[in-house]
Amino acid sequence: MADALKIGVAGLGTVGASLVRILHQRRNELAVSCGRAIEVVAVSARDRTRDRGIDVSSVTWYENPVEMAKSADIDVFVELMGGATGAASDAVEAALSRGLHVVTANKALLARNGVALAALAEEKGVLLNYEAAVAGGIPVIKALRESLTGNTVNRVYGIMNGTCNYILTKMEKEGLSFEACLKEAQRLGYAEADPAFDIEGNDTAHKLSILTTLAFGSQIAADDIYLEGITNISIEDIHAAAELGYRIKLLGVAQRTETGIEQRVHPTMVPQNSVIAQVDGVTNAVAIESDILGELLMVGPGAGGNATASAVLGDIADIAKSRPGQQMVPVLGRPAKALETYRRAQIQSHEGGYFIRLTVEDRTGVFASIATRMAENRISLESIMQHSKQLEPGKPQTIILVTHATREDSVRRAIDAIKSEGYLRGEPQVIRIERPKDA
Ligand code: NAP
Ligand code: HSE
């Protein structure tokens, strides 16, 4: 049997502690399938006194993960600390610079600096593996980077944040408040250290930017994403969606258009009968539409210690099975130098259906005015309804419109015109509708 693969794990939180536990529990099976043992020889975290439910007493403890990355004792640096800058970034760069393989689950770091890190890994002839960075345990990186080579991808989209999907599901099915659901997601280890990254959509945007690069061969462009989180979604929207035959999901969508690549993250209404509408809780789903294969839909656990550690483990096993001199898969699907400049399609030119919820004064002519403003902007309506549960004369009324496919800029113009009429009470709610191929 070949020499053991020696790994250093930086970060012993939800994911790191699960990984160390699994590596210990499965050491015999892993040694057989990889043809060599995998040994944790070093770890790093901030608080040495914290009980993590794992025994790391016999491995070298580093206060500073950058020092661990420089240690001659390790073959692979596993980064599970998080953060786009600071210790995680410094340590990954130090490890790659000295020719160590790196495994990370850190989508924020890759979204910010992935192309430079990929170039560095390629220059040094080492692997930078990051399966856990997108959609937790779902092997979507491998699918896009390796299995779909030769396909032209037209659209990739999905539920990529377990915390948000967990919150939306619990709000709908158990009637719990947004805050209570978020607290529970944090307790279960799904949320980011700063959960604003989850609920405001940044985490989905980081993941989407990585998938966009793998799917379309362009530079990572995480700042060029239209972004809306779920903080604005009320139980009223969830119920209205259900009444109309939809469910609300936070989707990340990237698609080829005539003007460039459209990347957007926002709450989205999907038809109840589509598979993606039925993906609940912490489960994620990623759909990839390509010309040779057609539609591929991958569904699985999107966050949490074990699900994420499973993907990290797969990345480590790939390194354990690789042999010196073997041709390496480019980190981002093609050599970093061959990535194309990202050409952004603006959200204003997005075309699709829209759900629009308006709270209006109860007076004559409002319905007709709304219909006129829509028509003036060439927006064709699939349905318009006054919300049946709120028909109390004299009180503000809720009007819900669903449009046929139309352009975003038309919808924005129509809403501005409606706002100027003076009968609106509160901000309109606008939710885009996405049609999966199976709906
Ligand atoms: P976590 O529970 O907050 O754990 C972070 C760990 O990093 C802690 O052990 C912490 O040490 C350590 N750490 C932070 N800064 C450090 C520093 N400067 N030096 C040394 N150690 C440091 O985070 P997590 O949920 O495991 O997530 C880790 C990474 O995986 C993140 O990039 C996250 O985005 C990604 N990820 C997480 C999930 C998930 O479901 N949780 C899923 C996919 C990807 P202390 O324990 O001593 O504080
Ligand atoms: N906070 C992330 C989520 C972890 O909830 O999906 C998995 O990347």
| pLDDT tens, residue by residue, 59-100 | 999 999 999 999 999 999 999 999 999 999 999 999 999 999
The stretch 294-309 carries a mean pLDDT of 97
pLDDT range class, residue 390, cuts 50, 70, 90: low
What pLDDT score does 323 carry?
86
Span 330-339, mean pLDDT? 97
Using CA atoms, how far apart are residues 429 and 234, in angstroms rounded to an integer?
Answer: 10
pLDDT at 388: 53
pLDDT at residue 394, rounded to an integer: 73
Ligand 2 contacts (CB < 6 A) are 136, 161-163, 190-192, 198, 203, 302-303
* Structural domains of the chain ordered from first start: 5-137+305-338 (3.40.50.720), 143-301 (3.30.360.10), 349-433 (3.30.70.260)
Q: What are the beta bridge partners of residue 7?
A: 40, 76
DSSP letter for each residue of 137-172: TS-HHHIIIIITTTPPEEEEEEE--HHHHHHHHHHH
HSE-CB for 214 with a 13 A CA cutoff = 29
* 408 in Cβ contact with 429 (< 8 Å): no
Question: How many whole angstroms separate alpha carbon 77 and alpha carbon 3?
Answer: 17
* Confidence at residue 263, expressed as pLDDT on a 0 to 100 scale: 98
Q: 62 pairs with which residues across the strands? A: 44
Mean pLDDT of 301-322: 97
Q: Which atom of ligand 2 is nearest to the CA of 303?
A: 7
Ligand 2: centre distance to CA 165 (Å) = 10
Are 38 and 4 in contact by the 8 Å Cβ rule? The answer is yes
CA dist 200 to 31, 52, 220, 233, Å? 42, 29, 20, 11
Distance 278 CA to ligand 2 centre (A): 19
Q: What is the pLDDT of residues 72-83, one digit of tens each?
A: 999 999 999 999
Pick from 65, 60, 89: which is nearest to 13 by CA?
A: 65
C-alpha 189 – ligand 2 centre gap (Å)? 9
Asked whether the beta carbons of 431 and 268 are under 8 A apart, the reply is yes
Determine the Cα–Cα distance for residues 435 and 439; give it in Å rounded to an integer.
6
13 lines ligand 1 (CB under 6 A): yes
157 and 321 Cβ atoms separated by less than 8 Å: no
Determine the pLDDT at residue 386.
Answer: 82
**How much of the chain is in helix, strand and coil states, percent to nearest 5?**
40, 25, 35
Average pLDDT, the chain: 96
Among protein residues, the one with the nearest Cα to ligand 1's atom 6 is 11
Q: Is any ligand 1 atom within 6 A of the Cβ of residue 116?
A: no
What is the pTM (predicted TM-score) of this model? 0.97
SS (H, E, C) 335-346: CHHHCECCCECC
Contact indicator for 211, 242 with CB cutoff of 8 Å: no
